[in-house]
Chain A
């Protein structure tokens, strides 16, 4: 569960990215975060994986206050969260398999567990036959599927996706969405920032619209709508 109480994010240059956010996202939900560029979506997302700390207010991830948590405990908070980016952030010198395995190695999973688990998630994202390819040999959609595999390989309770379809053509975008839906069906919470109106309006889920740093709408099964 993610909770935010009266969260403000003010950057050193004085920009107020978030102004008093109150929100609660329960386990198993699928949530779209929508809003114009510069509305505060990125700050909102970054608070959730503790890339940023709130200037004011409380962010709780599974009950842990991310502002108060000791530095050495932050990794354990992050292990509950998988993150997917618009630009995939795959390591170019590693194969698809190695990119996914890298996430397991980083949390010191035993080697004997790594191979079967990586194969399992690559199967889920439909890339078992491409697992020895380098990112440069994969299409954008395939790269994003590798990134999703990496995000879920350590069994997080949340997947936070920042414009996951932003760099993809419509067909690949839909593949990614079906994949995220499937992951959500298996119990993982999905929080996804997006500009894709068609997706939001077709795969109806909870929509949180942010404008000028405040939540202007929070509606289950809502539409994309905000004034561009």
Chain B
């Protein structure tokens, strides 16, 4: 007698389960189609959400990298004194990096940010004594969350006039994203449950259609898993097929959006995630979710309608 808990399913049995599952899908073609569509709509919404969420995380991370305190130095400091202030800031334990940005450099950066117009606008400020910008020290804190405290400390250093940072841009972005995320998640969860129930309904139809076969299988002593497997495969298959279209559509839309928004350089702070790495994540997530929804649907039906 064979052991019930044999972990390795025989190839023969496995291929049989797949055939059986495929027959189930074919038999209830319209119900399967409806279930696949429901999964597809659900996953499409999830896909949009995923793109949004991945990008927000990506942007936040990029922003965190850029988070820097700008400490403006008192005008009367000599070069030596500036260097001393710099050293003092660099020696703080919470500071990762600090750099001196002379006002000439500051003006150059400003011009660069404004592009072609910059040369025109800032023309009058060039030359000795005309530059209104202060000399700066940019300070990068070790922990971006800690930026406020660090900026206070930097401010208190003698020779520093003021210390400012891009107050809360990251925070606001993350805040907004968590709101949107919650709304989409609740909405998506509702849809996912709906899709799972639609799948469970198609599985139920298969169970009913195969009622007699199942009865015979039970009678002759088929193991419970032998009877259940085809239904799980059928559910997972519906979820899988339902994942294909939303993945393609969502990623195509992203590709279009990405190229319209100037290859991710719409603004220096809003850098979109490159399509390749995003594509891998999104595809994996959508497919995993589709299979999960499908399997959940089968579990619901198998538990309710399949007496073993």
B223 lies within 8 A of chain A by Cβ: yes
- A103 near B212: Cβ-Cβ < 8 Å: no
Among residues 81 to 123 in chain A, which have CB atoms less than 8 Å away from a CB atom of chain B? 81-83, 89, 91, 102-103, 105-108, 110-111
A49 touching B16 by the CB < 8 A rule? no
Interface centre among B4, B10, B222 (most CB of A within 10 A): B222
Distance (Å) between the CB of A86 and the closest chain B CB? 14
Which residues of B have CB within 8 Å of A91? 212-213, 216
In the bound complex, do residue A108 and residue B10 qualify as a contact, i.e. CB atoms below 8 Å apart? Answer: yes
How far does the alpha carbon of A92 sit from the alpha carbon of B223 in the complex, in Å? 23
Some 7 contacts from A to B, beta carbons below 8 A apart, are A73-B4, A79-B220, A80-B221, A107-B221, A108-B10, A150-B216, A150-B220
B224 touches A75 (CB 8 A): yes
Contact between chains at B12 and A154 (CB < 8 Å): no
The reply to whether the CB of B109 lies closer than 8 angstroms to some CB of chain A is no
Take A105-B16, A108-B2 as given contacts and tell me if A72 and B223 are in contact as well, using a CB distance cutoff of 8 Å: yes
* Interface residues in A, total, Cβ within 8 A: 25
Query: Which chain B residue lies CB-closest to A102?
Result: B216
List the 9 shortest-distance A-B pairs measured between CB atoms, nearest first.
A79-B221, A106-B222, A78-B221, A103-B220, A75-B221, A106-B217, A75-B223, A106-B220, A108-B13
Q: Which residues of A contact B1 (CB under 8 A)?
A: 76, 79
> Which residues in A have their C-beta under 8 angstroms from that of B220?
78-79, 82, 103, 106-107, 150, 154
| Bitwise interface map of B from 288 to 308 toward A, beta carbon under 8 Å scored 1, else 0 | 000000000000000000001
The digit string for B223-250, where 1 denotes a CB below 8 A from any CB of A, is 1101000000000000000000000000
List B1-35 residues whose CB lies under 8 Å from chain A.
1-2, 4, 10, 12-13, 16
* A228 proximal to B (CB < 8 A): no
Which residues of chain B have C-beta atoms less than 8 A from A80's C-beta? 221
- Is A169 on the interface with B (CB-CB < 8 A)? no
The interface bits of chain B over 269-293 (1 if a CB of A lies within 8 angstroms of the residue's CB, else 0) are 0000000000000000000000000
**Centre residue among B10, B223, B224 by max chain A CB count within 10 A:** B223
| Interface set of A (CB-CB < 8 Å, partner B) | 49, 71-73, 75-83, 89, 91, 102-103, 105-108, 110-111, 150, 154
Within 179-211 of B, Cβ neighbours of A (below 8 Å) are at none
CB distance from A45 to the nearest CB of B (A): 12
A200 shortest CB reach to chain B, Å: 25
Shortest CB distance B170–A (Å): 54
Known: A71-B224, A78-B221. A106 touches B4 (CB 8 A): no
Is B219 in contact with A108, judged by CB distance below 8 angstroms?
Answer: no
8 Å CB contact of B221 from A71, A76, A89, A110: A76
A89 lies within 8 A of B222 (CB): no
9 further contact pairs, Cβ within 8 A, besides A75-B218, A78-B221, A150-B216: A49-B219, A75-B4, A78-B220, A81-B221, A89-B216, A102-B217, A106-B221, A108-B2, A108-B223
- Shortest C-beta distance, A54 to chain B (Å), equals 18
Bound form: Cα–Cα A107–B213 in Å: 13
Q: Nearest residue in A to B215 (C-beta to C-beta)?
A: A89
